[in-house]
Amino acid sequence: MTTSFSQADIQVLLNQMAEDIRQQIGDRKPLLVGIHTGGVWVAEQLLEILGSDFFDAPLGTLDIAYYRDDFTRIGMHPQVQPSDLPFNVDDRHLLLIDDVLHSGRTIRAALNEIFDYGRPASVTLGVLIKRNGRELPIQADIIGKSINLTEQQHIKLSNDNGLHLELTTNGGE
C-alpha cells in the first residue's frame, strides 16, 4: 500500500509550522538548524516562508551520523555530510528541525552534537511529521501533522523538484 502527500499538502503543513514558530519564538531571534537530510529540506522551506530576517544567522546543518547509538550494531553510515553550524550556539535560542519524529533517537543524537558546539539558551524542536513509536522521552514543540502508523508503515520525505511525503507499508518483515 502506498499513500502520498502532494507538494500542496506539504505547503499547508509548512505554513502552519511557520505560523506556530512566529507565535512561540517570534521574539527570540532564533538560530535555525536542520538535521540532514530531510530536516535540512524542511528548514530551507521554513526559511523561505519566514524570511532570513526572522533568524539571526544563516541555516545551520547537522549530520548526526557520528552520534548515533547503533554504530556497534550496523557500523558506518554510507553517506555522511559534514555538520555546519555557522554561528556560536552559546546562550542562543535554537530552532531544531527534522522531517519525521519517530523513535526520538535522531533528536537525542542531535542534542548531544549541539552540546559539543556549546550551551544554547534553549532548543525548540520542529518536525513536519510526528508519528507514534517514541522510544525516548522526547517531544516536538512545533508539529506539521501528527499521524498514527502501524509498525510496518514508514513515512519518508523525498526531494525531487519539490518535497514529497510517501507512506509505505512493507509486507511482514
Binding residues (CB under 8 A) for another protein: these are 66-67, 71-76, 80-84, 112-113, 116-118
Residue 66 CB, nearest approach to another protein (Å) = 4
Q: Tell me, what DSSP letter sits at residue 136?
A: S
3 state SS of 12: helix
Residue 71 CB, nearest approach to another protein (Å) = 6
Residue 117 CB, nearest approach to another protein (Å) = 6
Residue 29 CB, nearest approach to another protein (Å) = 21
Alpha-carbon gap, residue 10 to 87, rounded angstroms: 29
Residue among 83 and 106 whose Cβ is closer to another protein? 83
- What lies within 8 Å, CB to CB, of 27 at 6+ separation is none
Q: At 15, give phi and psi (nearest 5°).
A: -60, -40
For cell 502501524, the residue is 150
- Cell numbers linked to 148: 498514527
Residue among 72 and 148 whose Cβ is closer to another protein? 72
Count of residues making up the chain: 173
Residue among 70 and 135 whose Cβ is closer to another protein? 70
Residue 36 CB, nearest approach to another protein (Å) = 11
Alpha-carbon gap, residue 31 to 104, rounded angstroms: 21
Alpha-carbon gap, residue 37 to 61, rounded angstroms: 9
- Cell numbers linked to 18: 511557520
